[in-house]
């Protein structure tokens, strides 16, 4: 027993050593090495993405590749810029906080020349330290996509905001873009606050864009006094486009995602809204939007403080912020403004010139909706009902009394924006629709390959009775450049749909399918229309099914109008095997001789309309090699066994027979000699003339075989028992 324990101990120690020394050299993701990782949009999020992270070790790099490249085999490497930084020297904020105490490298990189509408992943590497994988999907759709909007997550430690994000990911089917109107942390100058929000796995799967809130500007000293209001921490946490107002680069910016132009404005802390910084920002906004007119369909603005606040305590919103901004929003045709700050939910009607307007006449092309999301965290205030009675606001819920956390799902199409606000229980709190002021924009079709699209398209029919089928794309990569598809046969329309590019589904249902010839019209993102003539393959899956089990079976299904005019002809090696007509066309099948199992054969099916060949389908069947045995003859003695293997591709068609089962048996590839004599084991392929034989000669048994051997073993056992029993006594 001691020996057993010793062996088990050695095995256990060896296992531990293997795990420590013999495993992979790459360490697990370590937030002490890489943290505060953010994936931000570039100015054009279809080709450019910004990455920002903090690390205490110099010399790191970024590896990025397609999301499907599971092992980063084809990854590209980017070396970021490194800035050695801490708050120390810029402020005396909380000397115990790590932003103050720990100097670190702030690393920034911008990935460029990315492929539109493509899912990527990246990781951070420094020697043996490797981060988790982060994912993002570039823009590139013209319509039918969505994003999620948040406000005032603020208390990340209790995970309320992260749970809300997970809920919205389920509702929105994992959106590629999440935006936030600020106050992601309670005190931006405390690193643990920022870490609570950003260093969470839920933040690793999308592009994140934010406007800074006043709490991003705050830090406190040990006594709790507020010390500074500056974007220094925010600007070292996010790598946003540097295209904003000169005094607010990185905290004020714009970017395109599909047909929406997003603008993040920096409303700063309330103490400084009277500064010239905001005056310059307002002028920048006006000039920039005018210059970009025609490059987008919708204009969405995010700013922390609500222009039409429902919170009376911050009077500077009414006296300073609203008067500066709403006339410019009117002039520039802003569609939607998303904000927070108040921690109470409010939403306006469509406003223009500080008044409610409808969608009739010229009003159709002007006016803005203002949405204050309240809180995507757990900090809420009671609703000030008096403010909502100003005639500008829609009646809304009191989220503090109800205990609600909120976020918005914004669905984008060429026809409208549909904004739906949800609480943490997936209940709809509010929904409204915004009609576009502008025509759809023509996005780039650079990279489009017409032949690849045509080759990828296949039309199939479900059945003759339903006249339904589908247009499907095996790969679907070129659909990102297509916004509309129409399929018709003469004057019969079978499919007329917008393209909702989805990486998991490239199939569209068709109706009224009763013809052979179809025309597919593709409308590209730039409104170019291309067409493909298509002769439909009338074999349900677009493949003739050649199945070999107990027989060689050829089958397909078809749905063709006016059956009496069509026929099938089936050839094997150019020899006509059979002609099928009439109702045989609905579900066609044919059993072929198994003689075609061996060798190479060409199977051809012709679809004829009268005497005219409408379509042809060919299968080059590479048949099995001939049946072979591992032995052609065997000599055994009674009681002996030997393996006998055979090789044939279609195992279930092989029949095995022993000519004289009294002489030998054959079971599971083993011949066993039973009695003296001669016989054959015969292998045949069902319904063919393929035969292989193995001759077996069995001689008399010798040595300790059969029953004699058993008797000797029993006798030896008795002697052994007697011997050891005598020794014991």
- Given a cut of 60, whether residue 623 has pLDDT beyond it is yes
Domain CATH number, residue 658:
2.60.40.1080
Domain CATH number, residue 333:
3.60.21.10
Residues 490, 493, 495, 496, CA torsion sign: positive
- Supply the Cα-derived Rg of the chain in whole angstroms: 37
Report the number of secondary-structure helices (H) and strands (E) in the chain: 12, 49
Which of 622, 650, 681 lies at the terminal end of a domain, its last residue? 622
CB neighbours of 517 closer than 8 A, spacing ≥ 6? 489, 533, 534, 535, 536
Percent of the chain with pLDDT over 70: 82
| Domain of 491, in residue numbers | 450-535
- Higher pLDDT: 45 or 226? It is 45
Q: Are residues 222 and 312 in the same domain?
A: yes
Region for residue 693 given its phi and psi (left: phi exceeds 0; alpha: psi -120 to 50; beta: otherwise): beta
User: What rounded mean pLDDT belongs to the chain?
Assistant: 83
Whether 664 is in a domain gets the answer yes
- Structure confidence by residue, pLDDT tens digits, 233-256: 999 999 999 999 988 999 999 999
Domain count, the chain: 4
Q: Are residues 403 and 486 in the same domain?
A: no
Whether 53 is in a domain gets the answer no
Letter string b/e over residues 152-171, b meaning 16 or more CB atoms within 10 A of that residue's CB: bbbbbeebbbbebbebbbeb
DSSP letters spanning 337-366 = EEEESSSS-EEE--EETTEE--SSGGGGG-
- Higher pLDDT: 452 or 390? It is 452
CB neighbours of 511 closer than 8 A, spacing ≥ 6? 467, 468, 494, 495
**Distance between CA atoms of 330 and 276, rounded to whole angstroms?**
22
Report the pLDDT value the prediction gives residue 541, as an integer from 0 to 100. 34
Q: Are residues 234 and 373 in the same domain?
A: yes
- Structure confidence by residue, pLDDT tens digits, 253-289: 999 999 999 999 998 755 545 567 888 999 999 999 9
- State the CB neighbour count (10 A cutoff) for residue 428: 11
Most confident range, picked from 139-148, 242-251, 550-559, 562-571:
242-251
Residue 583 DSSP label: G
Which of 590, 622, 654 lies at the terminal end of a domain, its last residue? 622
Q: What is the 3-state secondary structure (H, E, C) of 664-717?
A: EEEECCEEEECCCEEEEEEEEECCCCCEEEEEEEEECCCCCCHHHHHHHHHHHH
Place of tokens 């027989």: 551
- Given a cut of 50, whether residue 708 has pLDDT beyond it is no
Question: pTM for the full model?
Answer: 0.63
Q: Are residues 617 and 527 in the same domain?
A: no
- Structure confidence by residue, pLDDT tens digits, 469-513: 889 898 888 887 887 899 998 888 999 987 755 445 688 889 888
* Candidate from 200-209, 392-401, 551-560 with smallest mean pLDDT: 551-560
Phi, psi of 2 (to 5 degrees): -60, -35
Q: Are residues 517 and 657 in the same domain?
A: no
**Distance between CA atoms of 432 and 271, rounded to whole angstroms?**
34
**Distance between CA atoms of 560 and 545, rounded to whole angstroms?**
19
Report the pLDDT value the prediction gives residue 337, as an integer from 0 to 100. 97
Q: Are residues 344 and 286 in the same domain?
A: yes
Whether 673 is in a domain gets the answer yes
**Distance between CA atoms of 40 and 70, rounded to whole angstroms?**
23
Report the pLDDT value the prediction gives residue 269, as an integer from 0 to 100. 58
Distance of CA 721 to the CA centre of its chain: 71
Report the pLDDT value the prediction gives residue 728, as an integer from 0 to 100. 44
Report the pLDDT value the prediction gives residue 142, as an integer from 0 to 100. 60
* Candidate from 243-252, 542-551, 597-606 with smallest mean pLDDT: 542-551
Whether 383 is in a domain gets the answer yes
Report the pLDDT value the prediction gives residue 192, as an integer from 0 to 100. 87
Q: If pLDDT is split at 50, 70 and 90, which confidence band does 217 have?
A: confident
- Given a cut of 50, whether residue 369 has pLDDT beyond it is yes
- Higher pLDDT: 540 or 431? It is 431
Q: Are residues 428 and 488 in the same domain?
A: no
Report the pLDDT value the prediction gives residue 534, as an integer from 0 to 100. 80
Percent of the chain with pLDDT over 90: 49
Whether 648 is in a domain gets the answer yes
Q: If pLDDT is split at 50, 70 and 90, which confidence band does 550 have?
A: low
Q: Is 331 helix (H, G, I), strand (E, B) or coil?
A: helix
Report the pLDDT value the prediction gives residue 632, as an integer from 0 to 100. 94
Whether 289 is in a domain gets the answer yes
- Higher pLDDT: 515 or 202? It is 202
Which of 593, 622, 651 lies at the terminal end of a domain, its last residue? 622
- Given a cut of 80, whether residue 424 has pLDDT beyond it is yes
Report the pLDDT value the prediction gives residue 346, as an integer from 0 to 100. 93
Segment (H or E) for 323: helix 322-332
Q: What is the 3-state secondary structure (H, E, C) of 378-424?
A: CCCCCCCHHHHCCCCEECCCCHHHHCCCEEEEEEECCCCEEEEEEEC
Q: Are residues 250 and 376 in the same domain?
A: yes
Q: If pLDDT is split at 50, 70 and 90, which confidence band does 556 have?
A: low
Report the pLDDT value the prediction gives residue 565, as an integer from 0 to 100. 63
End-to-end CA distance of the chain: 26
Residues 143, 66, 114, 477, CA torsion sign: negative
Question: Residue 310, class by beta-carbon neighbours within 10 Å (0-12 exposed, 13-18 middle, 19+ buried)?
Answer: buried
Angle, vertex CA 629, rays to CA 626 and CA 632, nearest 5: 125
Mean pLDDT value across residues 587-599: 77
Mean pLDDT value across residues 443-461: 85
- Given a cut of 60, whether residue 10 has pLDDT beyond it is no
Q: Are residues 157 and 287 in the same domain?
A: yes
* Candidate from 130-134, 438-442, 566-570 with smallest mean pLDDT: 438-442
Report the pLDDT value the prediction gives residue 435, as an integer from 0 to 100. 93
Q: How far is CA 197 from CA 152, 160, 161, 185, in A?
A: 11, 10, 8, 7
Q: Are residues 335 and 467 in the same domain?
A: no
Whether 580 is in a domain gets the answer yes
- Given a cut of 70, whether residue 128 has pLDDT beyond it is yes
Q: Are residues 247 and 185 in the same domain?
A: yes
DSSP letters spanning 506-570 = -EEEE-----SEEEEEEEETTS-EEEEEEE---STTTS-EEEESSSEEEEEE---SSGGGEEEEE
Report the pLDDT value the prediction gives residue 92, as an integer from 0 to 100. 63
Is residue 49 within 8 Å of residue 257, measured between CB atoms?
A: no
Is residue 596 within 8 Å of residue 689, measured between CB atoms?
A: no
Report the pLDDT value the prediction gives residue 151, as an integer from 0 to 100. 95
- Given a cut of 60, whether residue 727 has pLDDT beyond it is no
Q: Are residues 560 and 423 in the same domain?
A: no
Domain CATH number, residue 471:
2.60.40
Whether 37 is in a domain gets the answer no
Distance of CA 667 to the CA centre of its chain: 50
- Given a cut of 50, whether residue 84 has pLDDT beyond it is yes
Mean pLDDT value across residues 518-527: 87
Mean pLDDT value across residues 394-420: 93
């Amino acid at each position: 027993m001691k020996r057993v324990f010793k062996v088990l101990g050695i095995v256990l120690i060896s296992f531990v050593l293997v795990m420590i020394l013999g495993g992979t050299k790459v360490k697990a993701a370590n937030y002490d090495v890489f943290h505060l990782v953010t994936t931000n949009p570039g100015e054009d999020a279809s080709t450019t993405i910004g990455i920002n992270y903090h690390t205490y070790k110099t010399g790191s790099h970024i590896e990025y590749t397609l999301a499907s490249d599971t092992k980063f085999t084809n990854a590209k490497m980017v070396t970021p810029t490194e800035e050695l930084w801490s708050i120390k020297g810029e402020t005396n904020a909380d000397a115990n906080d790590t932003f103050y105490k720990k100097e670190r490298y702030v690393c920034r990189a911008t990935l460029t020349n990315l492929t539109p509408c493509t899912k990527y992943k990246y990781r951070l590497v420094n020697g043996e330290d490797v981060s988790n994988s982060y994912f993002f999907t570039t823009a590139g759709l013209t319509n039918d996509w969505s994003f999620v909007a948040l406000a005032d997550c603020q208390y990340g430690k209790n995970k309320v905001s992260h749970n809300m994000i997970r809920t919205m990911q389920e509702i929105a089917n994992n959106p590629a873009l999440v935006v936030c109107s600020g106050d992601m942390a309670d005190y931006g100058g405390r690193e643990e606050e920022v870490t609570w929000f950003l260093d969470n796995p839920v933040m690793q799967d999308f592009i994140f864009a934010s406007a800074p809130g006043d709490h991003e500007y705050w830090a406190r000293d040990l006594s709790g006094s507020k010390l500074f209001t500056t974007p220094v921490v925010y600007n070292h946490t996010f790598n946003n486009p540097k295209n904003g107002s000169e005094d607010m680069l990185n905290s004020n910016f714009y970017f395109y995602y599909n047909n929406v132009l997003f603008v993040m404005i920096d409303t700063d802390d309330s103490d400084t809204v009277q500064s010239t910084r905001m005056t310059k920002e307002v002028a920048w906004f006006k000039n920039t939007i005018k210059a970009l007119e025609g490059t987008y369909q919708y204009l969405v603005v995010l700013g922390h403080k609500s222009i039409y606040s429902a919170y009376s305590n911050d009077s500077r919103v009414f006296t300073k912020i609203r008067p500066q901004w709403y006339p410019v929003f009117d002039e520039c045709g802003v569609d939607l403004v998303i904000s927070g700050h108040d921690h109470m939910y409010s939403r306006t009607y469509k406003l223009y010139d500080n008044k409610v307007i409808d969608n009739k006449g010229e009003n159709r092309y002007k006016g803005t909706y203002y949405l204050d999301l309240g809180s995507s965290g757990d900090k809420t205030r009671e609703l000030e009902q008096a403010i909502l009675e100003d005639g500008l606001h829609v009646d809304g819920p009191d989220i503090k009394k109800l205990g609600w956390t909120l976020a918005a799902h914004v669905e984008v199409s060429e026809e409208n924006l549909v904004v739906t606000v949800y609480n943490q229980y997936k209940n709809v709190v509010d929904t409204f629709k915004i009609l576009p002021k502008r025509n759809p924009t023509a996005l780039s079709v650079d990279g489009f390959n017409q032949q690849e699209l045509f080759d990828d398209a296949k039309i199939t029919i479900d059945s003759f009775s339903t006249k339904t089928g589908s247009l499907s794309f095996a790969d679907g990569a070129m659909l990102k450049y297509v916004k509309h598809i129409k399929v018709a046969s003469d004057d019969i329309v079978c499919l007329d749909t917008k393209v909702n590019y989805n990486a998991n589904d490239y199939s569209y249902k068709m109706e009224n399918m009763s013809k052979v010839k179809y025309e597919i019209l593709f409308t590209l993102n730039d409104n170019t229309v291309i067409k493909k003539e298509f002769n439909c393959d009338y074999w349900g899956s677009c493949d003739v099914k050649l199945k070999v089990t107990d027989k060689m079976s050829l089958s397909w299904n078809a749905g063709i109008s006016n059956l009496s005019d069509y026929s099938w002809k089936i050839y094997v090696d150019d020899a006509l095997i059979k002609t099928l007509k009439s109702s045989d066309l609905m579900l066609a099948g044919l059993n072929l001789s198994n003689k075609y199992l061996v060798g190479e054969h060409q199977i051809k099916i012709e679809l004829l309309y009268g005497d005219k060949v409408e379509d042809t389908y060919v299968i080059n069947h590479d048949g099995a090699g001939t049946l072979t045995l591992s032995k052609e003859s065997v000599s055994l003695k009674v009681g002996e066994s030997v393996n006998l293997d055979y090789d044939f591709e279609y195992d279930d068609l092989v029949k095995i027979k022993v000519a004289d089962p009294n002489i030998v048996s054959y079971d599971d590839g083993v011949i066993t000699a039973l009695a003296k004599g001669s016989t054959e084991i015969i292998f045949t392929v069902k319904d063919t003339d393929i035969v292989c034989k193995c001759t077996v000669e069995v001689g008399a048994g010798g040595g300790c075989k059969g029953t004699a051997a058993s008797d000797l073993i029993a006798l030896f056992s008795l002697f052994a028992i007697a011997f050891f029993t005598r020794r014991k006594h």
